[in-house]
Amino acid sequence: MQELRTAPRQRRSQQSIDAILDAAERLIHEDGQVSFTAAELASGAQMSIGRVYYWFPDIPSVVNALVERTAERMVSVFGSAIEACQGSSTPLLIERVAGALCDHLDRNPATVALCLTGSGSGGRAEALFQSMTTVVDRVIRDRVPDIPDAEVELVARTTVGITLGMLHDYTKLGDRKPFLRQELVYVLSAWLVSRYPSSDAVAWSDQSYPIRPSRRPRSGFRESGPVWPALAPDQPN
């Protein structure tokens, strides 16, 4: 964490830093912008202003450190969810990963806004985007054989862009959040399955099919049996 004035040497020191960052995250979420004062931050962290400045030289440094921590956690949740779904069909993988990301945002509502628009965070926002893109890159290469590097990069960046873009306002939706979660699954699944349909899909044989596929995946881009009803478990059968 490059923004610290003093490097933590004990667990209690790291707890103080986390308390400062947690307070900053709450203030940003409550106000919707980075506009808090050192006094507000110290009060939220339940420590003196002097203690805050012992660790950080100024408020922008606090925000930058928070963005760095937020991005690391986001990438960890994203990568762990994908790792847990190895061997699953692509629609099911997308459903599980979208659910994990939304659950993370429920617990940490300032996450996406911080990663995308945090003060002074341009480089870290791009680092988050690139880290998530690298994870998606591995999934695509694993599931689609002989795919050119340029296509992998395009599809991976598009996947991450759609995901972060749709989740940007997720925490503001209240009781409509489940609908956006489901819509994210629909959008990503429909797009990827259209681009990489299964080997027996009609798109390969019907030249009039409106969406031309890119290449055949190894497996897993379509489950046997109906897929979409499973994406809305709260709806009546």
pLDDT in the model for residue 127: 75
211 part of a folded domain: no
Q: Does 20 share its domain with 89?
A: no
pLDDT in the model for residue 220: 54
228 part of a folded domain: no
Q: How far is CA 48 from the centre of its chain?
A: 34
Could you tell me the CATH number of the domain that includes residue 47? 1.10.10.60
* Count of domains for the chain: 2
Q: Does 87 share its domain with 155?
A: yes
pLDDT in the model for residue 202: 87
pLDDT in the model for residue 221: 59
pLDDT in the model for residue 210: 87
The set of long-range contacts for 1-4, using a CB threshold of 8 Å and a minimum separation of 24, is: 1/65, 1/68, 1/69, 2/64, 2/65, 2/68, 3/56, 3/57, 3/61, 3/62, 3/64, 3/65, 3/68, 4/55, 4/56, 4/61, 4/65
Q: Does 78 share its domain with 190?
A: yes
**Residues of the domain holding 140:** 64-198
SS3 20: helix
Q: Does 106 share its domain with 192?
A: yes
- How buried is 6 (Cβ within 10 angstroms: 0-12 exposed, 13-18 middle, 19+ buried)? exposed
Q: Which of 4, 117, 16, 6 is CA-nearest to residue 61? A: 4
Query: DSSP alpha helices (H): ranges in 56-176?
Result: 59-84, 90-107, 111-117, 122-143, 149-167
pLDDT in the model for residue 164: 87
Q: Does 28 share its domain with 76?
A: no
217 part of a folded domain: no
pLDDT in the model for residue 32: 67
Q: Does 78 share its domain with 188?
A: yes
Q: Does 118 share its domain with 167?
A: yes
pLDDT averages per 10-residue partition of the chain, 237 residues:
54 84 89 82 94 91 88 90 87 91 90 62 68 90 88 93 88 90 92 85 86 78 41 39
Distance (Å, rounded) from C-alpha 217 to C-alpha 234? 31
